[in-house]
């Protein structure tokens, strides 16, 4: 499993996923269906897990590039 740093915080495994979820939730508005509201990260993870994993991988790669 790769480990990278970003802003003096280690990105590793679940921490990378948490930071990616946080970024998605800050960049996109909540998804509303009727009276229910869901976070963008939760919706992407459940509706299209492949796209979520690709996005997570690209996010990790972009953090590596920032550090180099």
Rg (Cα) of the chain, in Å, rounded? Answer: 13
The strand pair at 31-33 and 36-38 is best described as antiparallel
d(CA 67, CA 5): 7
Predicted TM-score (pTM) of the model is 0.74
Distance CA(15)–CA(17), nearest Å, equals 5
Is 1 a residue whose pLDDT tops 80?
no
By the 8 A CB rule, do 26 and 41 touch? no
Query: Quick one: pLDDT band at residue 6, thresholds 50, 70, 90?
Result: very low
Neighbours of 11 (CB within 10 A): 21
How does residue 66 score in pLDDT terms, banded at 50, 70 and 90?
low
pLDDT at site 28: 97
Query: Where is pLDDT greater, at 48 or 67?
Result: 48
């Amino acid at each position: 499993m790769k480990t990278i740093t970003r802003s003096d915080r280690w990105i590793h495994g679940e921490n990378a996923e948490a930071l990616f979820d946080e970024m998605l939730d800050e960049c996109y508005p909540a998804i509303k269906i009727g009276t229910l509201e869901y976070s963008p990260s939760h919706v992407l993870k459940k509706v299209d897990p492949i796209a979520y994993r690709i996005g997570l991988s690209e996010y990790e790669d972009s953090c590596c590039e920032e550090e180099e």
